[in-house]
Chains A and B, each alone.
Chain A
Amino acid sequence: MIGYIDKIKEISKGLLEEKKVDMIIGFRKGTVPMINEPCVAKTSADVDNFVWDSSCGINLANYLTGRKEKIGIIAKGCDSRNIVNHIIENKINREQLTIIGVPCKGMVDRSKVKALVSSDIEEVIEKEDTMVISGADFEKTVKTSDVISKNCTICMHRNPVIFDELVAEEVDEQKDVNRYEDIDKIEAMDSGEKWNYFEDMFKSCIRCYACRNACPLCYCPTCFVDESKPQWVGKSQDPIDIWTFHFLRAYHCAGRCTDCGACVRACPMDIDVRLLTKKLEKDCFEMFNWEAGLSIDKRPPLDVFNADDPDGFIK
């Protein structure tokens, strides 16, 4: 994956020079290890700052909402699915976009890597399939595939589903993964266990809304938690209000979530928020055979009615 960058730069420069786009959304090198920063390139010189490695986890589709320019955008499998969502939901026009597709083998989970060492990580150098992690008093090599995010380990669409340019040959899609292992575990709990599980899970939430704001689906002009007339949710640290926010937000993502993991990646408190959306993603898959963001020609299941829609919930 680290070899992609030359091709990314070549395509980007070409698009800018030929004035096919006004800007390109990509990543520049982060100031701390394992997180690169989304940025805009408007000139070839800007493009020289672009990087590509396993620290480009942030979902760039989030930066498209409502933009008017002609935009080039670098897109992993999940980003491309959220671009599809955006097109379906009229948040961007397909014609505005030149999608530079990037086949992906998964993006690194910073906390997984941090947990492997006892002191501060100062530098991470990425090789083809490994990462060399170093700090003041240590150096350690890890296999990149061992430290990618949970959602990446079960990703079924590593290749962009929609693109205008592809920077490399497609990677093999994963087979024989249990996509719903975590959800199965929670489903097997009795209601008391579930209560305790979620109570513990959201205990550290500080309501910074990073999960919501990092999510490409959460573009409502006014989120329900910010409404004042009527005020649906209290503003304090009352757990009921915190849960209400998370549960309702998840439901709002039903049939739309691509399990890109943006919410978890953004959470400063390491809350595994995507467990909620994953359950709904599972339900959509099982009930409607639906995976979000695969085609701009199909309407999402909650947008349409079919006579044979499952109705088992009506008792």
Chain B
Amino acid sequence: MQNPYLPYPVRIDKITNATEDKSLKTYKFVFLDPDDERKFAYKAGQFAELSVTGKGEIPIGIASSPTEKGYVTFTVNRVGLVSSYLHTMKEGDIMGLRGPMGNSYPWDALEGKNVVIIGGGFAFTTLRSSIVYMLDPANRSKFKDIHVVYGARSPGMLLYRDELTKWEERDDINMHITVDGTDDPDWKYNVGFVPTITEQKAPAGNDDTYAIICGPPVMIKFTQPVLDKLGYTHDRIIMSLENRMKCGIGMCGRCNIGKEFVCKDGPVFTLSQLNETPREY
């Protein structure tokens, strides 16, 4: 019987600052036992428990794409005990990784459809994974139009900026990058909040179009009416939730929203599913 609490040992291969204020760092992990990488087969939208030995575990969305081999990456905001300690760790340090956990974005349902990705702030990690996955030459033909609305407070707070720029240059993805405000005269993308840009740039909702939305509660609060207006039905609006978690496998009891566990039955839900729950998140 495999112990579901036993993390795979990993080495921190590379640490990069992900935002200009250094509150987020991106960690690239390599499995000590290459066999573990095979066991850690994941889909875009899943998460894992980063296990910092001696401090504890934190659930973090997987930022790398299943199409990227040899490593996994996570972008971690410095918030609590474990994430703060993780920010002090160095390349080469040994820790653990437990997962992958949770469901993923509904890739079967998304196949053959237009995909509109709407993200705000730090909640772009599993969206990055999804974009890289969809843009992979082996996968791109499976999807129709791809739109991405992604916003942050300022240019320096956008995650994965180099990649965003490269995606902007492609013609098989429609990028709508935005910032709340900037004094950079060379900023050539949008200025405005995510809901506004979504209203201006996102395609209208129909049976063939899904919106995936991740972001801070305030962004979601104001984007949802926009999607309603654009004609997205609630079963075509896909959200990824965060709740405090420990076990990550639906057993320790804390992350539930009604009878569903965010860690195991989620973190990805359609808005129609969420409407049936007490929405305690």
Contact = CB atoms under 8 A, between A and B. Distances in A.
Nearest to A230: B81
B159 to A, nearest CB: 25
Nearest to A227: B81
Interface string B79-97: 0110010000000000000
Nearest to A228: B81
Contacts of B80: 228-229
Interface in A182-238: 228-229, 231
Contacts of A231: 81
6 contacts: A228-B80, A228-B81, A229-B80, A229-B81, A229-B84, A231-B81
A231 B80 CA distance: 12
A253 B81 CA distance: 28
Interface of A: 228-229, 231
Contacts of A229: 80-81, 84
A83 B91 CA distance: 56
Nearest to B81: A228
A228 B80 CA distance: 8
B262 to A, nearest CB: 21
Interface of B: 80-81, 84
A215 B81 CA distance: 29
B111 to A, nearest CB: 43
A228 B55 CA distance: 10
A41 B81 CA distance: 43
Contacts of B84: 229
A39 B8 CA distance: 51
Contacts of A228: 80-81
Across chains A and B, which 6 residue pairs bring their CB atoms closest together, nearest first? A228-B81, A229-B81, A228-B80, A229-B84, A231-B81, A229-B80
Nearest to B84: A229
A185 B211 CA distance: 72
A231 B82 CA distance: 12
A229 to B, nearest CB: 5
A228 B84 CA distance: 11
A238 B80 CA distance: 24
A228 B82 CA distance: 10
A57 B181 CA distance: 59
A229 B81 CA distance: 6
A130 B45 CA distance: 67
B244 to A, nearest CB: 12
A231 B54 CA distance: 13
Contacts of B81: 228-229, 231
A234 to B, nearest CB: 13
A254 B276 CA distance: 49
B246 to A, nearest CB: 12
Nearest to A231: B81
A231 B81 CA distance: 9
A267 B80 CA distance: 32
A296 to B, nearest CB: 40
Nearest to A229: B81
A231 B85 CA distance: 13
A145 to B, nearest CB: 46
A173 B96 CA distance: 65
A229 B87 CA distance: 15
A229 B84 CA distance: 10
A35 to B, nearest CB: 28
A314 to B, nearest CB: 37
Nearest to B80: A228
A226 to B, nearest CB: 12
A171 to B, nearest CB: 48
A228 B85 CA distance: 12
Nearest to B56: A228
A224 to B, nearest CB: 15
B83 to A, nearest CB: 11
A231 B56 CA distance: 12
A207 to B, nearest CB: 17
Nearest to B82: A228
A269 B84 CA distance: 38
B252 to A, nearest CB: 13
A231 B84 CA distance: 14
A150 B81 CA distance: 43
A254 B84 CA distance: 35
A44 B81 CA distance: 50
A312 B84 CA distance: 44
A228 B81 CA distance: 7
